[in-house]
Amino acid sequence: IYLLNIQMMKQTFVHDISHQLQSAIFSSGLAAKLICLFCIIGYGLSYSPQCVRILTVIPGHVMPPNFWIWTFVTHTFIELHIWHTIIDVIVVFLYSKMIEPLWGTKELLKFYFIVTIPNALIVTFTYFLFYGFTFKEEYLFERPIYGLASFIGAYSVIIKQIMPDTVIATTPFFKLKQDHVPLLIIILSTLLWIAHAVPIHFLIMLSFGIIISWTYLRFFQIHQNGTKGDMSSTFSFASFFPSFISPIISVFANTIFEIFVKIKLCQPYVKKYNASSSSSVTITIPGAEAADADRRRQKALKALNDRMKVKDTSSEAWPELDDTQQNPLLPPTHHIDSSSVKIDMNNLHGISTSNKEDLNQEQTTS
């Protein structure tokens, strides 16, 4: 019986996952389908060493006289392990189902290239540094750079922006929130690299994918209301870290931001005040109108669901009795209509006056 229950649980789990994946595939947009299709094709091409050599970024081949610069685009579609490909496809389909309807296909593809191409350049430069310190030519010609790790890390930042403070799992010791996911996947990737489960470029691409995506979403993304970035407090760089070290990270991040403003790499943080109305003052934060709308909607729906649950519970515990549903074992009660009760203030004043006169007469007699 125990083995039968385990088998049934496995079948149920597999059925639920397959059902959700099918729903995500059919409801996803064009950008997600294209990315996943090229990932599957790239995994098939990875069985050919020549294709891996041509399509992945190899630092020694991007230098003169080769100039294989197209690999900065094609490297993301190559995966050498099937479980990496499965994770890439599942994450892209499930996350794009929420992101692409909000952003649109054009913006999502633009974000994809903004994250992946600079990331490949950074990893290539890092390999050049490794070669400069170690003089090992394997960093130039024997360690290809490939995979979708940078885009997976960027997706975790987008979900944090859309749904901050969302509780993913609750444990007896802590609550796992969406804010913790970017830092958590970096820690897990570091442990996997130490265990030789993933190469070093996977950890570098994932980390810089988070940094590049946050920088673009924080300062440069253009919203429909004409503003740039998202300067809300829930999307600050310090919010990616636990509360006990977030003040230190905040000081460091603000210092870097001030340096970028001085060299005109970023625009200064500006708040717009609308004081045209005497009854209220409206403060507009850049990007907050577009970025916070879905957050407030999610919180409002959650609060409404909680109230409905409480109302249903209270209604079940204390049923209301009216004239039509009164218990026949109890004596009948009279119902007083509040609309039929009238109070005459003149009579009430007269009664109170007469009561005072009678009281005075009684005191005089006594």
DSSP 282: E
Let me know if residue 124 belongs to a domain. Answer: yes
Number of structural domains (the chain) is 1
- For the cut 50, the answer to whether the pLDDT of residue 333 exceeds it is no
Q: d(Cα 199, Cα 191) in Å, to the nearest integer? A: 11
CA atoms within 13 Å, Cβ hemisphere of 254: 10
- Domain span including residue 97: 30-263
* Contact (CB, 8 A) for 290 and 225: yes
**Residue 293 vs residue 228, higher pLDDT:** 228
Establish if 101 belongs to a structural domain. Answer: yes
For residue 312, the model assigns a pLDDT of 56
Q: Does any domain span residue 72? A: yes
**CATH number for the domain including 94?**
1.20.1540.10
- Domain membership of residue 299 (yes or no) is no
Q: For residue 169, list its beta bridge partners.
A: 176
Is 80 contained in some domain?
yes
- pLDDT over 70, % of the chain: 66
- Report if residue 333 sits inside a domain: no
pLDDT, one tens digit per residue, over 162-187 is 888 777 777 777 777 788 889 999 99
Specify if 94 maps to a domain: yes
Give me the mean pLDDT over the 217-238 stretch: 86
From CA 168, how far away is CA 186, in angstroms rounded?
17
Pairwise pLDDT comparison (22 vs 45), residue with the higher score: 45
In a domain, 182, yes or no: yes
**pLDDT tier, 356 (very low <50, low <70, confident <90, very high otherwise):** very low
Q: What is the pLDDT of residue 205?
A: 95
- Put simply, whether the predicted model's pTM sits higher than 0.85 gets the answer no
- Residue 266's SS3 state is coil
